[in-house]
Amino acid sequence: MTAYPGRIAATPRRRGVGSRIVAAGRHALGLPMLLLVVWALVATRATSRFFPDPVTIADAFVDTWIGPAFVEDVLPSLARLGLGVAASIVVGIAAGTVIGLTPWLRELLEPLLEFLRAVPPPVLIPVMMILLGITDTMKVVVIVSGAVWPILLNTIEGVRSTDSVMTETARSFRVSWWERLWFLVLPAASPRIMAGVRQALSVALILMVISEMFASSSGLGYRIAYFQRNYLIAEMWSGILLLGGVGVLLAVAFGLVERRVLRWYHGIREVNRA
């Protein structure tokens, strides 16, 4: 023990969970708080009514969204967003797995998929309105029409990149097709699938707002457009901040799910780094 006193004294003590959470929160909130201070300082010198200070926007946020508007506008938007994302995940993973496992089908559909992917979903809104009417179904279909592509294409590539040696080994041991799919193909493709879902969340949020701005009588997009048309500037900014908050919550929730689903993948990466 006496041979290495300096080394023992220099060994750092591991921080507890509480201190790590506090440090993470301090790092996460530091820049936003700094930006709020800068915004407040600039707003006090600005003469334009289109650039209100944070206190005015906070008051408008409480008056606008804490109450009936939360039930009439926020919850319907979140419901459409959730349905659109869920449908995109189911369709994207199912279709991507089938296409990725079938080489001739992949070659047949590749030109069509590239063409459809290149079509901006907002230009389809008038067509959807004619076919489906101004309904919640139309808005969900618009969300799916854009959010499904990152999941579909990433699933195809993930399934294609499954290790051929492991696939042949599973076949030689007479592992059934369903077992290979569930225990080999989908786990191997899951990092790419989760990357596609992450991209799809941001696309779905954007399309939710756009679909409600075009044709709707409720929702966050409709309400923000209403505030803008009626020059309710502080209320408009409060809606934009609410959308940003929804995006942050989606990112946090997805991060928790991703860490659980890809726990094995992150574990392998940590071992490789060591």
Residues in CB range of 154: below 8 A, 6 or more apart: 96, 192, 193, 195, 196, 199
Q: How far apart are CA 96 and CA 158, in angstroms?
A: 9
Task: Return d(Cα 119, Cα 126) in angstroms, integer.
Answer: 14
Q: Categorize the per-residue pLDDT at 7 as very low, low, confident or very high, splitting at 50, 70 and 90.
A: very low
First to last CA, the chain: 28
* Residue of 59, 54, 62 whose CA lies nearest to 38: 54
Task: Give the model confidence (pLDDT) of 210-233 as tens digits.
Answer: 999 877 788 899 999 999 999 899
Give the pTM.
0.83
19: pLDDT confidence band, cut at 50, 70 and 90? low
Q: What integer pLDDT is reported at residue 38 of this predicted model?
A: 76
Q: Which residue has the higher pLDDT, 20 or 4?
A: 20
pLDDT of residue 208: 93
Classify burial at 235, counting beta carbons within 10 Å of its beta carbon; exposed 0-12, middle 13-18, buried 19 or more: buried
| Least confident residue range of 15-19, 198-202, 256-260, 262-266 | 15-19
Is the Cβ–Cβ distance between 231 and 56 less than 8 Å? no
CA 25, 27, 31, 36 torsion: positive or negative?
positive
Mean pLDDT of 89-116: 92
